[in-house]
Amino acid sequence: MSKIYAVGDVQGCTPSLKALIKKLPEKSKMIFLGDLVNRGPDSLGSLRYLKKLQESNRAECILGNHDLHLLAIDAGLRQTKSLDTVDKILKAPDRAELINWLRHRPLALNTGKILAVHAGVLPQWGIQQTIECAQEVEKTLRKKNYKSFLANMYGNTSYKWSNSLKGYERLRVITNALTRMRFCTPNGLMEFESKEGLEKGPKGYLPWFKVPKRKTQDALIYFGHWSTLGLLRTQNVIGLDTGCVWGGKLTAMEIPESGKSHKDLQIIQVAGYKHPLRM
C-alpha cells in the first residue's frame, strides 16, 4: 500500500515543492493542506504542478484563503495586493483551465484516518458536520454562478456559527472557519486579526484546537495556515505550515496506518524560499 503524506502550505514555492516530492517514497500520495499559491516566487508553476499531481491520482489539494483570494481576483472582485504573486496565473494561456480546476477542489477531507483542513474546525462541529459544511461551499464554487458567492465571501459580520444560518452568511462562516480561523472562544466566536503564537490570542479566545470539549477532540486533524506555530504535534492535532514562503521549511508528514501512533510518523522537510523581505 502506498504511503500518504500531508503537506503544509506551498504558497507558490515551486522549487521547494519539487524538492520535497523527490524526497518522498516512490508512488506515495499526498494531501496538500491549502494555500497552494501566492507570496512565493512561482505560483503559476506550483498550480500547474499540483494540478498534474492531482490528475495523475497522486495528490488532492485543499483550498486555503490564498487560493480563494486568487479565485476572487480572477473573477474581478478583488485587486491584487503588494505581496501577491499571482499575476502570471492571470496572464497564462491555461488560466481558465487552472481556475476551473481550483474551483473543484475540496475545503476539507476525511480519509478515515485523519480529518484534513486548511485552518481549523469549529468546536460545535463533529467530523461529519465539518465535511457536510465544507461540501456546501464546494458545491457553490462549482456552480455556473459561483462568482455571486465570491462577491459575498468576504465580510466582518460572520464570526459565529449557528445551525440556523442560511444563504451567503452561512457559507461565509463556514469558509472563515475552514480557511481563516486561528483563535475562537469556547462557544465558537472567531477572531481573525491575531496571527502569532498560541498564547497571543485576545482575552477570552483560545487556539481553536484547545477549546474544551470540541466535538472533534478525538479525531486526528492535520492543518496548515498558522506559520508562526511551526511544526505542531500535540494530542490529535498536527500543524504543518512551517513557513516555507518566509524562509522556513516545506513539511510533509506521513498519515498513519491503523494502529500506528502519530508520534512515530515520518516527517520530511526541505528548505523554503528565501523571501527578500525576510532575509
Task: Give the chain's domain count.
Answer: 1
pLDDT, one tens digit per residue, over 29-53 is 999 999 999 999 999 999 999 999 9
pLDDT at 224: 98
Burial class (CB in 10 A: 0-12, 13-18, 19+), 168: middle
Enter the C-alpha cell of residue 211: 477549546
pLDDT band (50, 70, 90) for residue 279:
very low
Cα 221 from Cα 137, distance rounded (Å): 20
Name beta bridge partners: 6: 31, 253
Q: The domain spanning residue 23 has which CATH number?
A: 3.60.21.10
What sign has the CA pseudo-torsion 176, 178, 183, 187?
Answer: positive
Q: What is the mean pLDDT of residues 112-127?
A: 97
Contact (Cβ atoms closer than 8 angstroms) between residue 66 and residue 39: yes
Report strand pairing: 190-191 vs 183-184.
Answer: antiparallel
Q: Domain containing 66: what range? A: 4-278
* 221: phi then psi, degrees, rounded to nearest 5: -115, 130
Q: Could you read off the pLDDT of 87-119 as tens digits, one per residue?
A: 999 999 999 999 999 999 999 999 999 999 999
Is the confidence at residue 276, as pLDDT, over 90? no
Percent pLDDT > 70 in the chain is: 95
Question: What is the reported pLDDT for 74?
Answer: 98
Q: Is the pTM of this model over 0.85?
A: yes
Residue 262: the pLDDT is: 64
pLDDT by residue (tens digit) across 178-204? 999 999 999 999 998 888 888 878 899
- pLDDT tens column, 254-263: 998 765 566 6
Predicted pLDDT of residue 159: 85
